[in-house]
Amino acid sequence: MSFISDIFKKKKVSALGIDIGSSSIKIVQLQKKGSKAILETYGELSLGPYSGVSVGQSTNLPVEKIIQAMNDLLNEKEVAITTKFCGLAIPFKASLLSIIQMPDIGQKELTSMVPIEARKYIPVPISDVTIDWSIVPKSEVVEDSSKEKTDKNKVKTVDILLVAIHNNIINQYKEIVSKTQLNAKFFEIEVFSSMRAILEGIKGPIMIFDMGASTTKLYVVDRGLVQNSHTINQGSQDITSNIARVLNVSTEEAEVIKRSVGMGKTVDGVDLSEMVLVIAGNIFAEANRFLFDFQKKKNKNIKSVFLTGGGSALLGFRDLAAQNFKVEVISADPFEKVETPAFLENILKVTGPEFTVAVGAALRCLEEI
């Protein structure tokens, strides 16, 4: 009888999403229950101490140190990871995204032609990268019939989203997986993880504003595809450094003050807003130029901006961003589509932007195992 009951027991399916950033590793474990994803555990480990710098500062660790940090996080009793199945997000800087135009000759022929055409768009030897591609769906906007008649003699074309990732990065991630005994189902570029976590059902065009420690990444997404991207070489650690300089405190103290106070006043009555604005103002100015160029080129207006990344979780940052972009600004809430304990609700709304990539990777992994 026990044998029969075991057959009908539903096996628990759990999956990890892992985001290895420049300043920390974020990890999220989800469990599948029917059609729902349930949060089992999550955690973050700062990488600064592994490089001799303070918490919140970006690092450029060798693979051995990342493996050490990953094992430390996986074995952390408070995090209590119970599965090895995972999906890993690869940094955007290790990839190349491009939309190219090809003749509409069918999937089979495109399979052999796209890698040849890709050589024109990839600035390194094709043997140094792994490429992937997909056909961009046609716009839902109905074309003018008169234009259709004019263009009927032209060769029909399709837009192709071309993705290339450096092989040395893939090999590094494979080594990390091997030496941490993880079972990786996939590697994907971090922006695709973010999109899965926060943009389901949103057509756009929207912008993802991903503020990390050392850089701020901008992505314009329309019809579920990255249309344009840009990286600003400033991030949350620059805000911390400015606070440390003005208040004449250590970087460690400045990081604690920044995280606890945000855009408000310290216990000594010092307003951090101006210190934040010195850096954030430069970032917003460059982001607005990026948006203007897109809107001018495509003749489309951005509908909203989604804030992700640890830097955007700063208290008061969303309101500051809304003043600068003059459109709807939303703090990403990747846990919104995940069932979570009630007592964590408020905490997860604050920390949500920081775990966007990890949640997105975990959601995909849950579907693939």
**DSSP per-residue string spanning 1-31:** -HHHHHHHSPPPEEEEEEEE-SSEEEEEEEE
Per-residue buried b or exposed e for 127-163, using 16+ beta carbons within 10 Å of the residue's own CB: eebebebeebeeeeeeeeeeeeeeeeeeeeebbbbbb
The pLDDT assigned to 8 comes to 46
Please determine, for residue 291, whether its predicted confidence score (pLDDT) is greater than 80: yes
Tens digit of pLDDT for each residue in 200-248?
888 779 999 999 999 999 999 988 888 889 999 999 999 999 999 999 9
Tens digit of pLDDT for each residue in 165-175?
999 999 999 99
Beta strands in 110-224 (DSSP E): 129-135, 157-166, 183-189, 206-211, 216-222
Q: What are the C-alpha distances in Å from 243 to residues 156, 249, 274, 330?
A: 56, 8, 9, 26
Alpha-carbon gap, residue 134 to 210, rounded angstroms: 24
- For residue 219, the number of C-alpha atoms closer than 13 Å in the C-beta half-sphere is 28
Alpha-carbon gap, residue 219 to 229, rounded angstroms: 4
Q: What's the CATH number of domain 95-165, 3.65.10.10, 3.30.1490.300, 3.40.50.720, 3.40.50.300? A: 3.30.1490.300
Q: What are the C-alpha distances in Å from 357 to residues 26, 60, 195, 225, 308?
A: 8, 20, 8, 16, 9
More confident call, 117 vs 11: 117
Q: Do 192 and 211 form a contact (C-beta atoms < 8 A)?
A: no
Peptide bond into 49 cis (omega under 30): no
Please determine, for residue 180, whether its predicted confidence score (pLDDT) is greater than 90: yes
331, two tokens: 């703090």
More confident call, 266 vs 29: 29
Location of structure tokens 């304990």: 341
The pLDDT assigned to 107 comes to 83
Tens digit of pLDDT for each residue in 103-121?
988 888 898 899 899 999 8
Phi, psi of 51 (to 5 degrees): -120, 5
Confidence of residue 269 (pLDDT cuts 50, 70, 90): confident
Beta carbons within 10 angstroms of residue 167's beta carbon: 13
The CATH topology of domain 2-94+166-241+261-368 is: Nucleotidyltransferase; domain 5 (3.30.420)
Confidence of residue 11 (pLDDT cuts 50, 70, 90): low
The pLDDT assigned to 55 comes to 87
The pLDDT assigned to 298 comes to 87
Per-residue buried b or exposed e for 233-247, using 16+ beta carbons within 10 Å of the residue's own CB: ebbbbbbbbbbbeeb
Which residues on neighbouring strands pair with residue 30, listed in sequence order?
Answer: 15, 39
Domain ranges across the chain? 2-94+166-241+261-368, 95-165
Residue type, 360: G
The pLDDT assigned to 126 comes to 87
Alpha-carbon gap, residue 326 to 304, rounded angstroms: 9
Beta strands in 233-338 (DSSP E): 304-308, 328-331
Residue 333: strand, helix, or coil: coil
Considering the chain, what percentage of its residues have pLDDT values greater than 90? 67
Phi, psi of 222 (to 5 degrees): -140, 135
**pTM of the predicted model as reported, rounded to 2 decimal places:** 0.89
